[in-house]
Amino acid sequence: LGPEFFKDGNAQATEAADYGTQAHGIIEKFLKDEITAGEAVSQAGSEPVEKAVVTALGWWDKNNFQVLKSESMLYSKKFGYAGTCDIILRNSDGVILGDFKTSKGIYPEYKLQTVAYKYAAEEMTGERIPRVMIYRFGKDGSFQDYEVPQAEHPALFDTFIDAKRLWTWQHQENMTFSSQSRAEK
């Protein structure tokens, strides 16, 4: 495999990240009432971003949501993590914490992220958030929504904390190993 093989993969990953960032930004502005639906579509700039934005606008029109928070920084002092939640909504069923994805699918690790956001939000506010949703707006115009079953929240959170511990350990070990390697040279 030559260097071009890896260069192409990196270019595709960068393009996918750019598309996701653009779509997220436009959807966020719309939900914060900073732009109209028409402005959201006109700001898309490319067909994949436009398809994701149009799909998000359609999802929004079909639901009777009230935005409580959008792009909200959440953190847990107790467990030492932070992140930015895409949206916290209210509808007739109650409060919903939602995360937007522009990937090709809904992947299992997304459940860990959104449940971690839920627990941080509950720690910060003292209010219970019963529903956690993942909304996927595809660059091909596809849409998926997935509700993380409430019964799974505690186990998913435990798994998130385990993953955080592993990440912390790896980074501490890498720093220690790197320091030792430099000292030996």
Mean pLDDT, residues 144-157 taken together: 97
2-60 pLDDT tens trace: 555 555 555 554 554 588 889 999 999 999 999 999 999 999 888 999 999 999 999 99
Give 89-144 pLDDT, tens digit per residue. 999 989 999 999 998 899 999 999 999 999 999 999 999 999 999 999 998 999 99
pTM of the model as a whole: 0.81
pLDDT at 177 over 90: no
**Closest-CA residue to 18 (of 133, 139, 105, 114):** 139
CB-count exposure of residue 87 (10 Å: 0-12, 13-18, 19+): buried
- Can you tell me whether residue 55 is helix, strand or coil? helix
172: left (phi over 0), alpha (psi -120 to 50) or beta: alpha
How confident is the model at residue 45, as a pLDDT? Answer: 85
**What is the band of 184 on the pLDDT scale with cuts at 50, 70, 90?**
low
What are the backbone angles phi and psi of residue 149, rounded to the nearest 5°? -55, 130
3-state secondary structure of 85: strand
Could you give phi then psi for residue 127, rounded to 5 degrees? -100, 145
Q: Where is 93: in which H helix or E strand?
A: none
Six-digit token string for 108 = 């299992």
pLDDT at 172: 87
Residue 128 per-residue DSSP state: -
pLDDT greater than 70 at residue 88: yes
Question: Is the separation of the CB atoms in 120 and 82 below 8 Å?
Answer: yes
Cα separation, 21 vs 14, in Å, equals 10
Q: In degrees to the nearest 10, what's the CA dihedral of 85, 90, 94, 97?
A: -10
